[in-house]
Amino acid sequence: MSFAGPDFVLAIIAISTIGWVVNNWIRARHGYALEDEWGGKTPRTDDKAMAALREENTQLRQQLEATHQRLANVEAIVTDRGFDVANQIEALRREGQRSEV
């Protein structure tokens, strides 16, 4: 193997990148702060804040589900044949009132 060729340089880059990924994987697995590509550290997450965010997320999902069900009910009412008939009756009443005037 020639140490002056591009293969050697690419091998060093690949080994360094794989080492960095494995290092961060091990740190993340054990709960330590992660390193970014400039040597900075990502702070550990606050467990209480994460629990609060999970609780809020659960509440928001429940509200979204309730809103989705209400919207489905409104769609069912609007697309219901009885709603269309009621609109036609109201339109006929309005036409009858205009012709009397």
User: Does a structural domain hold residue 13?
Assistant: yes
Q: What is the mean pLDDT of the chain?
A: 81
Position 80 in a domain: no
Asked if 34 and 41 touch (Cβ cutoff 8 Å), the reply is yes
The answer to whether residue 28 is domain-embedded is yes
pLDDT band per the 50, 70, 90 thresholds, residue 75:
confident
Give me the number of domains the chain comprises. 1
For residue 63, pLDDT beyond 90: yes
Query: Does 63 reside within a domain?
Result: no
pTM equals 0.41
1 part of a folded domain:
yes
Q: How far apart are CA 15 and CA 61, in angstroms?
A: 44
| Structural domain of 14 | 1-44
Is residue 37 included in any domain, yes or no? yes
Ramachandran assignment for 80, one of left (phi > 0), alpha (psi -120 to 50 degrees), beta (any other): beta
In this structure, is residue 75 part of a structural domain?
Answer: no
For Cα atoms 36, 29, 20, give the angle at the middle one, nearest 5 degrees: 35
Q: Does residue 91 lie within any of the structural domains?
A: no
